[in-house]
A and B are shown apart, each in its own frame.
Chain A
């Protein structure tokens, strides 16, 4: 529903008592209102929708998510998902507590 893209804050200024920024979307620079993310700093990434920054992009989370994807196949190859396979072969549900290691670490990271 809502087209929003990540951009990097280049500079911040007050305009009409409103906090505005120049935000860089990979070589495309656009004026963006920062009123809803008061703690944004130059260099931060924001999720921008219709000229408004709505949320700071958490770069550490982005990195972790990608790392999780990187490890998906590898962990499976390494440890083997025998519970899942066995359950699937038997046409049964996966027994509780047998999630993939990657899944467990996600859950812990979640909170």
Chain B
């Protein structure tokens, strides 16, 4: 698209089009809308059209969950994530657990062994110290469980009414073992698509306690560090092609991102999707699709076909992967598209969501 750049830009220096990306306007919206944080198309466009051109970084251009860096001969994965969950405490966890597990999992999805975390707290004036204390404790416990060290941190306070109690940002670095090259771009036709357990659990747990939506359900967030599970998988197959933790936007979003990045198609068998009854039922009455509901302790793996059984066995042997199943296959057909075989034997396209899923009445 570089050749369509306006010629009238009379900058003092000669214009340099080499690294230029079309600064397409955010098509519909003049302001940030909630959907820009939903992990779907709007989020992707914000990064692609606004942040990436502004930062002009080759590494960022890969748009993975974490960056692959080389420093002094060491291969590092580097990632950051911000946490704005409401409420702060929910069935099965808290913002403190998410802040560790979210970033640790981004590193693990690069095959890295997570080592160090930074932790920035943005606190709203007036929040009780005891609440901050409980969150900090949960964060510390989660870090110990994940085997990472919180090495540096920061605290800021904003005026009452300008925050949601607590926002947390964490960044993490980890070492990528020799011979490991896990990236979305490596998905290849023939790969088995595996998922490490029941989907949609975290999203439904959060929705059940969200204001205006409350419903009673015995379900707990699946928030967990997946680094150990990944290590066990790598022990039986060094050549894992892709790993992804399907958080915001759910499995559908992760699979679409991978299909897009690698230029492959993905076929799913809906009957094999591990959707627990409570998730399916909550989705039924809210009008949501479990494929688009967030997870915080699951991963999806693209594995060369010869190794699929061994990897699946290793996953099932790990406490966080007991219910691992194969849900589909990577194919050369319909590149960039995820197609599901329905329970009745038909097919449907599982598309990238736009923003966040909303309950529908009709």
Contacts and interface: CB of A to CB of B under 8 A. Distances in A.
**When A and B assemble into the complex, do they touch directly, with CB atoms less than 8 Å apart?**
yes
Given A27-B217, A28-B215, A28-B217, A5 B285 contact: yes
B216 A30 contact: yes
Contact of A25 (B208, B218, B281, B287): B281
B21 interface: no
Contacts of B280: 26
Residue from B208, B215, B284, B285 whose CB has the most chain A CB atoms within 10 Å? B285
B362 A28 contact: no
Nearest to B359: A3
Interface string A1-22: 1110101000000000000001
Contacts of B139: none
Contacts of A7: 285
Contacts of B277: 26-27
B215 A30 contact: yes
Contacts of A49: 361
A50 B215 contact: no
A59 B218 CA distance: 26
Contacts of B320: none
Interface residues of B, number: 16
A29 interface: yes
B217 A3 contact: no
B268 interface: no
Interface residues of A, number: 15
A46 interface: no
Interface string B213-241: 00111100000000000000000000000
B360 A3 contact: yes
Contacts of A22: 216
B357 interface: no
A48 interface: yes
Contact of A26 (B216, B278, B287, B361): B278
Contacts of A5: 284-285
A7 B287 CA distance: 15
Contacts of A26: 277-278, 280-281
B76 interface: no
A5 B217 CA distance: 16
Interface of B: 208, 215-218, 277-278, 280-282, 284-285, 287, 360-362
Rank and list the top 7 A-B pairs by shortest CB-CB distance, nearest first: A29-B216, A26-B281, A27-B278, A1-B362, A30-B215, A28-B282, A3-B287
Given A26-B280, A27-B278, A30-B216, 14 more contacts: A1-B362, A3-B361, A3-B362, A5-B285, A22-B216, A27-B217, A27-B281, A28-B215, A28-B282, A29-B215, A29-B216, A29-B217, A30-B285, A50-B361
